Amino acid sequence: MNSTVFSYFAQSKEISAFIAWMTKLIGFDATSLVAFIIFLVASLIVVGALATIGGLGTYAERKISADLQARQGPNRVGPYGILQFLADGVKMILKEDIIPAQADKFTFILAPFLCMIGVFATLAVVPFSSGFILSDLNVGIFYLVGVASLVGVGVFLGGYSSNSKWSMLGGMRGASQIISYEIPATITIISIVLLAGGLSLGTLIGGQGGLPQEWYIFHNPFAFVGFFVYFISALAETNRAPFDLPEAESELVSGYHTEYSGMRFGLFALAEYIEVFVVCGVAAALFLGGYKVPFDLGTGIIFTERLGMDPMQAKNIGQLLELGSFFTKTLALYYVVIWVRWTLPRLRVDQLMTLCWKYLTPIAIFNLLGCAVWMYAFNGKSIYSLIFESAAIATGHH
Amino acid sequence: MSSLNLDVYMPIVILIGLAIAVAGGSLLVGGIIRPHHPNKLKESPYECGEEPVGSAWANFNIRFYVIALIFIIFDVESALMFPVAAVFKRFNEIGLGGTLLLSILTFVLVLVAGIVYCWKKGDLDWVRSFNAPQVQTGSKDK
């Protein structure tokens, strides 16, 4: 039913032999035990990779902003300053940890943990490739939407518990912004679910192909608009500029994490950068074909047929290609997120709410109905295949 | 593997565990090596050098609560839409798409009515107080 990173590895002979050997050794079915080990290793790899990407994200952000503003950016630590994020991490660990005397201590400590849990739990369904998805739950995208809102709770509690006016304002803004923009984002996701006919990330990506005309963004005009609605909402949900009101440094000092110092602040920052990666990955998966590689290279069958490779080896090469495809798309979107931050000025609170409730939400609802009608009217065909068919009929190649 | 196999939920538990471990671990490691010299000034809320007056836990702008109320309605709505959306394609293939389309339409129309009502009432305007005096005068022009 649900494909997982374990079910991918269980195809290989070595792992099945290992399961059989373990079963004999301990006397009962060892599948779950081996699954646990594989899941643990895979989770460690994912968390390690994403923490590095999050760290490199801070570096990329500073370097790109420097480029956009004709500055140098970090250039002291390591070649081109690439180790800057490690130095930052060490600094954060070494900084004194201050908890304000008037703060609500328990909630103050809890808030960054909630942010981290919310972001890390979403990683379970991020589709890196068709084999390397930690767990392709059958309610995947629904789960992702639900768990990601824990971050909003973390942001609000962080602001509230600090008992500082800046933090309170930032936390309130953060909470209202994150919940407001969840509406257009979720409704847009629903319209893509309509097209794919399933909630698991595998189904959502499986309905698309490797080539751009097979992506859902070009499936119909409503989905095309939907991509931008989702992307804008995702920017707002992750508190990225031009929607970074919860931490607007020119008015609120540092917003909801004003009172956080050292590693506790670092956890908020890490969670934010990983979350940006996750929402970019989801945007890539829903609209840009996710891990799909053109011409079905991802399945690896072609390598076996043409080059006579071992099936499992060919499959692994296909997986690597899929990983490359996913990361290319996601990191391209990540770059756009950073680019937008250093290009656009920040919105005002009332403008932010107007944009969400008076523009994005009605547009998202319209898109949802549009997608449903399109599916019904054209029997689920994409605009490309409709043009292709009518062209074939017109030229008489029917 | 049967569809009732709970192994697929294992990564979620592992990842939540890892999140707590990473956050807690980095704080613990830091706790050993970082300095700790608290004093009264350091522990007071930061207000750009001014002496903090009063607590931050005061009454807050009511607009935020209205937004939260509208959010709950729409969030529940979107949660209820997921199952319909998930089966729409399959129903469409066996020719029942029209039924589902109508049900989606009915459901969404109720919500659109809701958002139109909020809009007309001015609950979607952030700075409603500027419009409020006109309502209170009771003049029914407009």
The type of residue at A85 is F
Q: Which of A194, A252, A240 is nearest to A380 (CA)?
A: A194
Residue in A183, A177, A333 with CA at minimum distance from that of residue A255: A177
The stretches of chain A forming alpha helices (DSSP H) are 5-9, 13-26, 31-68, 84-94, 105-122, 140-148, 150-161, 165-196, 201-206, 221-237, 249-252, 262-287, 301-307, 311-341, 349-354, 361-378, 383-394
- pLDDT score recorded for residue B85: 86
Chain A, window 194-253: residues with a beta carbon less than 8 angstroms from a chain B beta carbon: 194-199, 253
Q: Residue B131 pLDDT more than 60? A: no
Residues of chain A with pLDDT under 50: 1
Q: By the CB < 8 Å criterion, does A6 face chain B?
A: yes
pLDDT tens per residue across span B11-45? 888 889 988 998 888 888 888 888 888 888 777 77
Q: With a threshold of 0.90, does the pTM exceed it?
A: no
How confident is the model over B74-119, as pLDDT tens digits? Answer: 888 888 888 888 888 888 888 787 888 888 888 888 888 888 888 8
Region at B52 (left for phi over 0; alpha for psi -120 to 50; beta for the rest): beta
Q: What part of A 32-51 touches B (C-beta under 8 Å)?
A: 32, 35-36, 39-40, 42-44, 46-47, 51
Contact in structure between A103 and A161 (CB atoms under 8 Å)? yes
Neighbouring-strand partners of residue A4: A135
Question: Cα–Cα distance between A352 and A354 in angstroms, integer?
Answer: 5
Chain B residues touching residue A160 (CB < 8 angstroms): 57
What is the structure's pLDDT at B140? Answer: 47
Closest CA to A60 of A360, A40, A68: A68
Give me B141's structure tokens: 């022009």
Contact A113 B20 (CB under 8 A): yes
Interchain CB distance below 8 Å, A47 and B90: no
3-state secondary structure of A4: strand
Taking residue B30's Cβ as centre, other Cβ atoms within 10 Å add up to 19
Mean pLDDT of B56-70: 79
Q: Which of residues 336-365 of A touch B (CB under 8 A)?
A: 349-350, 353-354, 357-358, 361-362, 365
Q: What is the DSSP letter of A346?
A: P
Give, as one character, the DSSP assignment of residue A348.
P
Q: At a CB cut-off of 8 Å and minimum separation 6, what does B119 contact?
A: A357, A358
Nearest-5° Cα angle at B37, B35 to B39 = 155
Of residues A31, A98, A358, nearest to B42 (C-beta): A98
Question: Quick check: B90 and A375 CB within 8 A?
Answer: no
